[in-house]
């Protein structure tokens, strides 16, 4: 187990130049779509959707890895978050996204990974609950990581950032 830094920033998940891996809040078919997936696919270019065709469909909680095409990162990891109130148990499926993405990045020898607030947009997961699930999932995975040293949450607004920052401070295993 290595020392892992966890941080929250405001920004665009598709503009994280200094990170090895960015995580996509994908849909089951791994198609461009809106929100995070739209931003990532438009920055990556059409090669990403082409590659993703062979990896789809994925299930809630699952994570798959692709190359990053025109993005400045090494890889994109695509996670399908639960649709809140539909894919149950939502908290476990959301935690699985974070855990599986971290393990996948680690297995590929990557040092840094940036997550968006998976499921909190179109999929309707309450932001505060999602933040707690995310921090607990990261904390619970730390002991299994060898190469990952930096985990970044990228939030789209100041308000979302403060919710994630608060959840990070409350998770004693990450301090």
Residues that bind ligand ADP (CB under 6 A): 12-14, 25, 35-37, 39, 81, 116-123, 154, 156, 160
- Closest approach, Cβ 7 to ligand ADP, in A, equals 15
Residues 8/149, Cβ–Cβ less than 8 Å: no
Output 69 or 145, the one with its CB closest to ligand ADP. 69
Q: How far is the CB of 3 from ligand ADP (least distance, A)?
A: 26
C-beta of 131 vs 145, nearer to ligand ADP? 131
Q: Which residue, among 161, 63, 74, 144, has the nearest Cα to 112 in the 3D structure?
A: 74
Q: Which is nearer to ligand ADP, 33 or 47 (CB)?
A: 33
Q: Which residue number, 10 or 149, has a Cβ lying nearer to ligand ADP? A: 10
For ligand ADP, which is the closer residue by CB, 104 or 161? 161
CB of 119 to ligand ADP, least distance (A): 4
Note the maximum CA span of the chain: 42
Task: Tell me if 66 sits within 8 A of 78, measured CB to CB.
Answer: yes
The strand pair at 150-155 and 5-10 is best described as parallel
The dihedral sign for the CA sequence 123, 126, 128, 130? negative
Q: Which helix (H) or strand (E) holds 21?
A: strand 21-25
CA 14 to chain CA centroid, Å, is 12
Least spacing, CB of residue 40 vs ligand ADP, in Å: 8
Q: How far is the CB of 1 from ligand ADP (least distance, A)?
A: 29
Query: For 30, phi and psi rounded to 5 degrees?
Result: 60, 40
Q: Are 44 and 70 in contact (CB under 8 A)?
A: yes
């Amino acid at each position: 187990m290595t020392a892992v830094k966890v941080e929250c920033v405001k920004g665009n998940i598709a503009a994280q130049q200094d990170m090895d891996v960015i995580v996509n809040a994908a849909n089951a078919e791994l198609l461009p779509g809106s929100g995070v997936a739209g931003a990532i696919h438009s920055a990556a270019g059409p090669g990403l959707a082409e590659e993703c065709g062979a990896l789809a469909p994925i299930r809630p909680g699952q994570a798959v890895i692709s190359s990053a095409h025109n993005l400045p990162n090494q890889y994109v990891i695509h996670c399908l978050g639960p649709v809140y109130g539909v894919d149950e148990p939502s908290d476990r499926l959301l935690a699985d996204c974070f855990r599986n993405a971290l393990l996948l990045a680690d297995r590929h020898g990557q040092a840094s990974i940036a997550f968006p607030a998976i499921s909190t947009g179109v999929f309707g997961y309450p932001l505060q609950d999602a933040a707690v699930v995310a921090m607990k999932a990261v904390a619970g995975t730390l002991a299994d990581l060898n190469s990952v040293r930096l985990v970044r949450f990228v939030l789209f607004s100041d308000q979302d950032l403060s919710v994630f920052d608060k959840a990070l401070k409350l998770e004693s295993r990450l301090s």
